[in-house]
């Protein structure tokens, strides 16, 4: 018995069919079987950048997950062996801040009161919870990963590998404790590094006070410097005032000194160079505070004083700003740090003590007013840095932080980046720029649930850096008994012996930057320098019970390092791409990835950022339920990842509508294959030229899509697939209808083969639909993902070019018809085609498609060229001559030149200077596109009109067949009212499967 194909519903129910396919994969262990099939094949090494397990995945995460899965599926279909290890970012600020919020804790003091051990356990449980949710979401999206063997950055194994890196960094002399002014989040109570804060998204529009304040000069009674500040809280810590030495400063009549360039219109009674003010001393605005005791305020020179805002005199508080701090080193100024780590004033600041930087603004302004130091007070809105994690406005504090010096590693990193292929290519330069300008890496954070920095500075001056748990155990003097995992508070209890003096040393309290955690995974997950394979060796510390991930041995690392490919969002250039490069170049001298795909953010359908509060955010689960995963994946894949990706339900509807063309082609095949009892295994029949074309077109699809997959360019895959489906549906099927009605096996076979290859090619992008249709058309019990990849043979470019041109001629012919208002069913006498050489041998097809009786290839004389002056451009060029030129153009008195130019009365008019129109002469409809012109003779005679009526009638009758619910194979009898159309009875019978046509009221009847 012939194979039977399951009929398709009118439209696919994506979410429903996806759930079926998920069950099928589960049931058949499809993913495991793919892995088994490729187990000994060449490797394709992909390293997953860990996603933060601190919330359900959003549609942005969906984009990254999709791209990773698309190219992994492609590589697996090509027969490569993959690792499929998923990673979770599981410690550091991302996690802590969320857990704090959940517990209702509002400060570090409250965390400490809550208890660090319990807090650490809560953090671990929190990660476990969201890792579970993200896993379920990823599976639903179709992502194939080795879900029981994820890596977690908070495993002791990962921590140990970072320790090892830090020990190496220390051995090279790059590690130092820096006394610096640093960006500080008062809510999180920690400094933040430049790379965390660098993105534009880490700034917000904020309103701040804007104050002009007097600093009365001691040497010049009655005269004052005027400074400008937007941070009143820094004034009690003022130390100096800076002026630009070569700028001109002027004294107003009231004694105020400002830079002349800033206030050009003011009147001055005295002018001096900035250098003449240097060395003067002044009364500080808050000299009465105990903290200010003994401070002598003076004017210092500073070349970088800007003269486009402010006053040209800059208030310097070295404890409250980065540049201020640098100046304090140059000029040996004292440093006053007015606030503690929670941003509150410390003792020594009188009534300000204990208050936040925001809260002191009013009392500061009030005090200035009382002392008559306030020239003006207003407000200003400006972009201001906010904490990347909690959005609190940042301040500057001078603190001791741990840094890795990057001068020595910079050049090797730049060279390593030379070996990487970036997609989109312009991002290669972005990371180069980042590397050239990167400052030393601030790696310490004053927090709790993070990488414990293994630094044990001894009173003897020696810095002990522990490189492994084994070393910790060997050198420990106490605290090992309760070491549950390498996290605070347990690690803090361990004291070690100083390597130099033998004294007992404590660990510093700081934890590490989270990008150390993610940067090391090329080593910690692959078993770098690990002598023996350790089963579940990455399920250590906090990761115990969450995964079964092994710690492989060094031989394994050799096989999988460096990664062939990594893919993350563009923002990761200064984060993960940077940290993994830094760590790998340090440890191994090589870049850990060979090629990269980056992508931009997801925005809503109108291009706006998505925000819950704006009501335009889309929940990933909702999208999966309403659109289906395939539609989402398609939407992600079809857009250029170097631009923001638009996402929303009406875009999804558009995707569904376009996918329907493919769906309908499959449905068409199923219908006629079942009628014909078609079996691809035993199909025979004579192949026609169109079948050969379809085969070539299919090869072309494979060749194009393969090239796009190879360069990790999903929009290219979609851009190859869509025109193929259009050719398949609107040319091959359309041109072969009659053969399908006749059950022509060669046609069915050609169509089946084309659909089969199309399913393989698109399976990585929409795995569910492809799998379901594959099971229907090709193999009920074998997945498309086990079918391998179709070969891309040589293609006949000439043949493909001919048909492509033929389709263009037909398309233009349709345009010409629609401009003339003559409907497509009305036969016409004649079509003239100019500029299409390759389409000549397809005369029959063109005639048929456009319903014309004759085609002439040659010059189109039926069209009239109309050229008009483009007045805004040509007016200025020609001036007075314009009138004559317009007159000549309107009379057609011009000479066309090469390249779309025209000569008129001795003037040469360029393409942009004229407006060109091709207008059909009376009785002709003309369409022109890119060197191709077609002209339709639109004259109708009685015979043509009659034929038009016949075709209308046939159309009507077939509609009646459908309305009557007849099967495609049912025969009918027909009655028609028009006597003069009876002459066309044979044609009508043929086109409507009728056995008879008789005169009567219009009706049909099953025969």
Residue 367 or 496: the one with the smaller Cβ distance to Zn ion is 496
Residue 501 or 1002: the one with the smaller Cβ distance to Zn ion is 501
Residue 140 or 397: the one with the smaller Cβ distance to Zn ion is 397
- Minimum Å gap between C-beta 459 and Zn ion is 6
Phi-psi region of 440 (alpha: psi -120 to 50; beta: other; left: phi over 0): beta
Residue 458 or 950: the one with the smaller Cβ distance to Zn ion is 458
Both tokens of 981, joined, read 């159309």
CB of 750 closer than 8 Å to CB of 758: no
- Minimum Å gap between C-beta 209 and Zn ion is 22
Distances (CA, A) of 836 to 812, 839, 934, 966: 12, 6, 9, 43
- Minimum Å gap between C-beta 573 and Zn ion is 22
CB of 565 closer than 8 Å to CB of 574: no
Angle at 464 between CA 492 and CA 195, to 5 degrees: 75
Residue 445 or 697: the one with the smaller Cβ distance to Zn ion is 445
Instruction: State the Cα–Cα distance between residues 614 and 141, nearest whole angstrom.
Output: 26
Beta bridge partners of 151: 87
Residue 52 or 86: the one with the smaller Cβ distance to Zn ion is 52
Angle at 966 between CA 965 and CA 967, to 5 degrees: 120
- Minimum Å gap between C-beta 131 and Zn ion is 23
Residue 8 or 511: the one with the smaller Cβ distance to Zn ion is 511
CB of 48 closer than 8 Å to CB of 68: yes
Residue with tokens 């990269």: 596
- Minimum Å gap between C-beta 385 and Zn ion is 11
- Minimum Å gap between C-beta 95 and Zn ion is 13
Q: Where are the alpha helices (DSSP H) in 781-936?
A: 797-820, 843-850, 871-878, 882-890
- Minimum Å gap between C-beta 11 and Zn ion is 48
Angle at 701 between CA 695 and CA 702, to 5 degrees: 95
- Minimum Å gap between C-beta 327 and Zn ion is 27
Residue 175 or 551: the one with the smaller Cβ distance to Zn ion is 175
- Minimum Å gap between C-beta 185 and Zn ion is 3
Altogether, the residues listed in the chain come to a count of 1007
- Minimum Å gap between C-beta 394 and Zn ion is 8
- Minimum Å gap between C-beta 497 and Zn ion is 9
Which one, of 621, 623, 604, lies nearest residue 612 by Cα? 604
Distances (CA, A) of 93 to 97, 450, 584: 6, 8, 24
- Minimum Å gap between C-beta 354 and Zn ion is 20
Instruction: State the Cα–Cα distance between residues 268 and 270, nearest whole angstrom.
Output: 6
Which spans of this chain sit near Zn ion (rule: CB under 5 A)?
185, 187-188, 387, 389-390, 392, 458, 460, 462, 498, 500-501, 503
> Got the DSSP string for 62-108?
HHHHHHHHHHHHHHHHTT-B-----EEE-SSHHHHHHHHHHHT--SH
Residue 462 or 857: the one with the smaller Cβ distance to Zn ion is 462
995 alpha carbon, distance to own chain's centre? 61
Residue 188 or 770: the one with the smaller Cβ distance to Zn ion is 188
Q: Are strands 51-52 and 87-89 parallel, antiparallel or unpaired?
A: parallel
Residue 176 or 741: the one with the smaller Cβ distance to Zn ion is 176
Residue 386 or 491: the one with the smaller Cβ distance to Zn ion is 386
CB of 513 closer than 8 Å to CB of 162: no
Residue 240 or 498: the one with the smaller Cβ distance to Zn ion is 498
Q: What are phi and psi of 593, to 5 degrees?
A: -140, 145
Q: In what order do the strands lie in the sheet with 994-999?
A: 994-999, 972-976, 1003-1006
Distances (CA, A) of 781 to 220, 757, 771, 772: 96, 18, 11, 11
- Minimum Å gap between C-beta 504 and Zn ion is 9
């Amino acid at each position: 018995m012939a194979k039977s194909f399951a009929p398709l519903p009118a439209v696919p129910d994506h979410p429903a069919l996806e759930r079926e396919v998920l069950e099928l994969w589960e049931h058949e262990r499809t993913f495991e079987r793919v892995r088994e099939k490729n187990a000994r094949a060449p490797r394709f090494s992909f390293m997953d950048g860990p996603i933060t397990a601190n919330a359900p995945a959003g549609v942005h995460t969906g984009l990254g997950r999709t791209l990773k899965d698309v190219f992994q599926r492609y590589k697996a279909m090509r027969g490569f062996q993959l690792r499929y290890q998923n990673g979770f970012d599981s410690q550091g600020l991302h996690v802590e801040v969320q857990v704090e919020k959940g517990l209702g804790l509002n400060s570090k003091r409250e965390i400490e009161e809550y208890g660090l051990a319990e807090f650490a356990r809560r953090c671990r449980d929190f990660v476990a919870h969201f890792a579970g949710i993200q896993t379920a979401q990823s599976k639903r999206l179709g992502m194939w990963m080795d879900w029981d063997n994820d890596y977690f950055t908070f495993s002791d194994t990962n921590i140990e590998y970072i320790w090892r890196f830090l020990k190496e960094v220390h051995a090279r002399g790059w590690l130092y404790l820096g006394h610096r002014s640093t960006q500080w989040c008062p809510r999180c109570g920690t400094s933040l590094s430049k790379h965390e804060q660098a993105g534009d998204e880490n700034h917000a529009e904020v309103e701040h006070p804007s104050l002009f304040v007097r600093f009365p000069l001691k040497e010049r009674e009655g005269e004052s410097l005027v400074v400008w500040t937007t941070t009143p809280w820094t004034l009690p810590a003022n130390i100096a005032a800076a002026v630009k030495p070569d700028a001109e400063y002027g004294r107003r009549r009231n004694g105020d000194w400002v830079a002349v360039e800033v206030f050009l219109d003011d009147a001055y009674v005295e002018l001096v160079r900035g250098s003449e003010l240097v060395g003067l001393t002044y009364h500080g605005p808050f000299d009465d505070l105990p903290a200010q005791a003994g401070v002598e305020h003076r004017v210092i020179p500073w070349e970088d004083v800007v003269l486009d805002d402010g006053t040209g005199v800059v208030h310097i508080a070295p404890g409250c700003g980065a540049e201020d701090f640098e100046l304090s080193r140059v000029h040996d100024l004292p440093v006053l740090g007015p606030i503690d780590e929670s941003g509150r004033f410390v003792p020594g600041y009188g009534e300000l003590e204990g208050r936040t930087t925001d809260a002191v603004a009013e009392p500061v302004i009030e005090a200035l007013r009382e002392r008559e130091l306030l020239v003006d007070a207003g407000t200003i809105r400006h972009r201001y840095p906010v904490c990347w994690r909690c959005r609190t406005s940042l301040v500057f504090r001078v603190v001791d932080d741990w840094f890795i010096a990057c001068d020595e590693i910079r050049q090797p990193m730049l060279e390593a980046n030379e070996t990487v292929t970036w997609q989109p290519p312009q991002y290669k330069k972005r990371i180069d720029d980042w590397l050239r300008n990167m400052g030393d890496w601030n790696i310490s954070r004053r927090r709790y649930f993070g990488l414990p920095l293994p630094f044990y500075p001894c009173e003897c001056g020696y810095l002990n850096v522990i490189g492994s748990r084994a070393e910790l155990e060997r050198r420990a003097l106490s605290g090992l008994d309760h070491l549950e995992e390498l996290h605070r508070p347990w690690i803090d209890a361990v004291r070690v012996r100083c390597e130099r003096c033998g004294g007992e040393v404590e660990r510093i309290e700081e934890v590490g930057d989270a990008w150390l955690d993610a940067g090391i995974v090329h080593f910690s997950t692959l078993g770098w320098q690990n002598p023996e394979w350790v089963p579940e060796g990455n399920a250590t510390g906090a990761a115990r019970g969450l995964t079964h991930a092994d710690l492989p041995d060094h031989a394994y690392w050799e096989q999988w390092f460096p990664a062939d490919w990594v893919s993350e969002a563009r923002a990761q250039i200064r984060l993960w791409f940077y940290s993994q490069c830094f760590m790998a170049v340090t440890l191994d001298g090589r870049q850990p990835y060979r090629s990269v795909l980056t992508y931009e953010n997801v925005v809503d359908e109108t291009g706006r950022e998505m925000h819950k509060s704006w009501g335009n955010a889309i929940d990933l689960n909702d999208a999966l339920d309403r659109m289906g995963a395939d539609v989402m994946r398609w939407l992600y894949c079809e857009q250029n990842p170097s631009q923001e990706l638009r996402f929303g339900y009406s875009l999804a509807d558009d995707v569904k509508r376009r996918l329907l063309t493919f769906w309908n082609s499959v449905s068409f095949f199923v219908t006629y294959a079942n009628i014909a009892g078609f079996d691809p295994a035993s199909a025979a029949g004579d192949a026609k030229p169109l079948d050969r074309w379809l085969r070539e077109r299919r090869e072309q699809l494979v060749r194009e899509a393969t090239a796009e997959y190879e360069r990790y360019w999903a929009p290219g895959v979609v851009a190859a697939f869509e025109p193929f489906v259009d050719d398949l549906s609107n040319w091959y099927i359309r041109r072969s209808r009659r053969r399908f009605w006749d059950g022509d096996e060669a046609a069915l076979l050609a169509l089946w083969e084309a659909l089969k290859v199309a399913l393989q090619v698109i399976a990585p992008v929409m795995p569910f639909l492809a799998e379901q249709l594959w099971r229907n058309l090709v193999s009920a019990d074998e997945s498309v993902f086990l079918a391998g990849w179709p070969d891309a043979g040589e293609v006949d470019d000439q043949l493909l070019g001919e048909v492509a041109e033929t389709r263009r001629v037909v398309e233009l012919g349709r345009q010409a018809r629609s401009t003339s208002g003559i409907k497509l069913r009305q036969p016409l006498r004649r079509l003239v085609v100019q500029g299409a050489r390759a389409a000549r041998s397809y005369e029959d097809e063109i005639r048929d498609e456009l319903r014309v009786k004759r085609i002439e290839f040659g010059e189109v004389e039926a069209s009239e060229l109309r050229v008009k002056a483009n007045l805004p451009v040509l007016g200025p060029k020609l001036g007075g001559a314009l009138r004559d030129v317009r007159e000549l153009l309107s009379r057609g008195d011009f000479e066309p030149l090469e390249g779309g130019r025209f000569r008129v009365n001795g003037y040469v008019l360029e393409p942009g200077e004229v407006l060109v129109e091709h207008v059909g002469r009376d009785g002709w409809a003309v369409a022109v596109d890119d060197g191709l012109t077609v002209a339709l003779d639109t004259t109708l005679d009685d015979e043509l009109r009659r034929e038009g009526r016949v075709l209308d009638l046939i159309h009507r009758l077939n509609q009646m067949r459908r309305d009557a619910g007849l099967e495609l194979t049912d025969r009918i009898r027909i009655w028609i009212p028009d006597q003069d159309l009876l002459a066309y009875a044979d044609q009508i019978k043929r086109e409507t499967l009728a056995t008879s046509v008789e005169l009567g009221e219009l009706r049909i009847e099953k025969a």
